[in-house]
Amino acid sequence: MRFHVVRDSQAQSAAGHRFAAVVGSRRTATVGALAVAACGLVVAACGAQSSPGAASSAGTTSGATMAPSSPSPASIDACVASQLKVSISNSGALAGQAGGYLRFTNDSRTSCRMSGWPVVTGLTAAGAATPLRHAQSTMFGAWQYAAPSPVVTLHSGDSAYAVVAADDQPAGGSARCPAPYVRLRVSPPGGSGSVVISAWLPGARSYLPACTSVNGSPTAETSTITTLSSLPH
């Protein structure tokens, strides 16, 4: 009697894969057991590889120190007038306005922060005082308000800026503008103290104008605190 043997190559392949998987799993188990044993014998080495804290402790004992992290803006106090040097820079006349940049420089050793509108009052030679309004945009400095106001952190020697500007031409049927502001009384946002500076604008060769609008309201205004990089300069 003859028997015809049919060879199933797919069945053999599947069996071979199952055998390889069993062997592989046994090898993995064996390697894992050896690794556990190695870690048990050399605890210090395994612990150093798995714990970042161990490496930091080793560095500290050798005399190395970590630099303190920089404080967040919320933990820094607002700037006060006594620690600031205020001046006018980048002055000139442009598109019917004359003005300049109020520069607030941290003249102390303590960091501080500024945000929002400074409190600025224009003073004439006769002693009349006019608060500068809060600008929403200015032709001079091409500044535009965007909420929320930026928070500018000033370390020692750093500066923040605000645009001050006013129309430099009479409005309506007026022949001339009122007498200009010859001084500015300036407080950082929050009004913590003030300083008085000259309102002379070297780039415009004039004092800050006190020109009014058609309805008679003062046109002098100030922007929020910002950085020099956000303004043309």
Tens-digit pLDDT profile for the chain (233 aa)? Answer: 333 333 334 434 433 444 334 334 444 443 343 333 333 333 333 333 333 333 333 333 333 333 333 455 568 999 999 999 999 999 999 889 999 999 999 999 999 999 999 999 999 999 999 999 999 998 888 899 999 999 999 999 999 999 999 999 999 878 899 999 999 999 999 889 999 999 999 999 999 999 999 999 999 999 999 999 999 88
> Same domain, yes or no, for 117 and 147?
yes
> Same domain, yes or no, for 51 and 91?
no
Q: Token pair of 30, please?
A: 């064996």
Q: Is residue 45 part of a domain?
A: yes
Domain extent at residue 34: 9-61
> Same domain, yes or no, for 82 and 57?
no
Q: Is residue 3 part of a domain?
A: no
CB burial of 75-104 (b: ≥16 within 10 Å; e: otherwise) equals ebeebbbebbebebebbbbbeebbbbbbbb
Q: Is residue 66 part of a domain?
A: no
Q: Is residue 4 part of a domain?
A: no
> Same domain, yes or no, for 31 and 119?
no
Using DSSP, state whether 213 is helix, strand or coil. coil
Number of domains in the chain: 2
